[in-house]
Amino acid sequence: MDKFFSEEELELLNKEIPGFQAMTSVSLDEAKQMLEVIRAPLPGHQIREISGANTRIDCGEELKLLLSKAREKVQGLLQAMHTYSQAEERGFTNWINKQLGKDEDCKTLLPLQFEQHELFSKVCNGIILCKMVNLVQPNTIHPNTISRGDKLKHIWN
């Protein structure tokens, strides 16, 4: 089970759930608690979907599937790992589509497709990020300072 968790997550789990590393299976409530401890919560209905009719989740492939459903890892700068839930990604994608869907500068980038995980690939040129900042705090970034055009490079490349 250790191979599914980072060192930090193992430390948190050992502290909050005594003896968790010796477990060969966990109840649905224990699985939910584990996900909350590692800050990757998952709604109960999704946990039940994975377990099917079972009342326990095997600490092998079923746990691996549960964890992959609960979080996505993005390789960040300096090789850091960032965790986020699919629910967060879906919510943020929907919010951007709703708020910026009619923006003329974003028309070639939107709508973002959640299923293709476009949230990260389409914000790379910075236009969506600048527009989001101005939505939250109007006039923070002057519109004339935003570089536009079809040939913009991704800011992380």
Band of residue 67 on the pLDDT scale cut at 50, 70, 90? confident
Please give the Cα distance from 39 to 12 (Å, whole number): 10
- Those residues whose C-beta lies under 8 Å from the C-beta of residue 14, and which sit 6 or more positions away, are 20, 21
Q: How far is CA 153 from CA 12, 105, 119, in A?
A: 40, 16, 17
**pLDDT tens, position by position, 108-148:** 889 999 888 888 888 877 889 999 999 999 989 988 888 77
Residue 28 lies in a domain: yes
Residue 81 lies in a domain: no
Residue 26 lies in a domain: yes
Q: Is the pLDDT of residue 77 over 50?
A: no
Select from 15, 45, 74 the last residue of a domain: 74
Q: Is the pTM of this model over 0.75?
A: no
Q: Which residue has the tokens 């919560």?
A: 41
Identify whether residues 51 and 9 lie together within a single domain: yes
- Averaged pLDDT for residues 2-23: 84
Q: Give the residue numbers spanning the domain of 58.
A: 2-74
Residue 16 lies in a domain: yes
Q: Which residue has the tokens 């599914």?
A: 4
